[in-house]
A and B are shown apart, each in its own frame.
Chain A
Amino acid sequence: EVQLVESGGGLVQPGGSLRLSCAASGFTFRNYAMSWVRQAPGKGLEWVSGISGSGGSTYYADSVKGRFTISRDNSKNTLYLQMNSLRAEDTAVYHCAKVPFLEWLSWFDTWGQGTLVTVSS
């Protein structure tokens, strides 16, 4: 069974940093691109960042470009999102999502439960 389990969320002050992790199991992790998608409380879905299966290509939404960094460790079957210079508007549940292909541009066939990031003083 494909499973994605996020961790690392929490309360952080504006301007602070946080690193999210997503542990993957049930599939050959390195063969699939991955993305992070967030959902602010009571709001819709917003794509944040994507990464190819090899990790060699990364992509970001304009709203997080220059502040967030996506990466992956295929030896550990783990996806990461390093979030710096956090703002109140980054408050959301962050989901990792699996892409059904090696390259990133696609739909998302499996979603993790998400981890809540709250940016507040």
Chain B
Amino acid sequence: DIQMTQSPSSLSASVGDRVTITCRASQGISNYLAWYQQKPGKVPKLLIYAASALQSGVPSRFSGSGSGTDFTLTISSLQPEDVATYYCQKYNSAPGFGPGTKVNIK
């Protein structure tokens, strides 16, 4: 089974900061990777699919990159409404999620 890891597990940053979250697969998954945002008490929301494609309606400050085993989600300018837990998900085979990265405002 391919395992997904994320780093860091949590972070605090200031409004306007550039934030980068890393997701790593234990084996290559090409670009079969999605990113979700889950705000406290809410349902997960799709941000990115195919590693770098922005879902319709998602602000352009969110971007994704990577291929193979290493992927990143970048928030170019952190906003207060971005406080959430972010999950990566592989879908080259049975879907699997990373453990999540909790983002807070400093």
Contacts and interface: CB of A to CB of B under 8 A. Distances in A.
Interface of A: 35, 37, 44-47, 50, 59, 61, 95, 105-109, 111-114
A95 to B, nearest CB: 7
Contacts of B98: 44
Interface residues of B, number: 21
Interface stretch (B17-25, B74-82, B85-93): B85-93
B94 A61 contact: yes
A45 B43 contact: no
Given A105-B93, A108-B46, 9 more contacts: A44-B99, A44-B100, A45-B100, A47-B94, A47-B95, A107-B34, A108-B89, A111-B45, A114-B43
Contact of B95 (A50, A95, A109, A111): A50
Nearest to B6: A44
B91 A109 contact: no
A109 B46 contact: yes
A112 B43 contact: yes
6 closest pairs, A vs B, by CB? A107-B34, A47-B95, A45-B97, A111-B43, A107-B49, A44-B100
Contacts, number: 48
A107 B44 contact: no
Contacts of A111: 43-45
Interface of B: 34, 36, 38, 43-46, 49, 55, 87, 89, 91-100
Q: Which of B87, B97, B99 has the most CB of A within 10 A?
A: B97
B97 A35 contact: no
A26 to B, nearest CB: 15
Q: Which of A44, A45, A61, A106 has the most CB of B within 10 A?
A: A45
Nearest to A97: B44
Nearest to A46: B97
A107 B99 contact: no
Nearest to A50: B95
Contacts of A46: 97
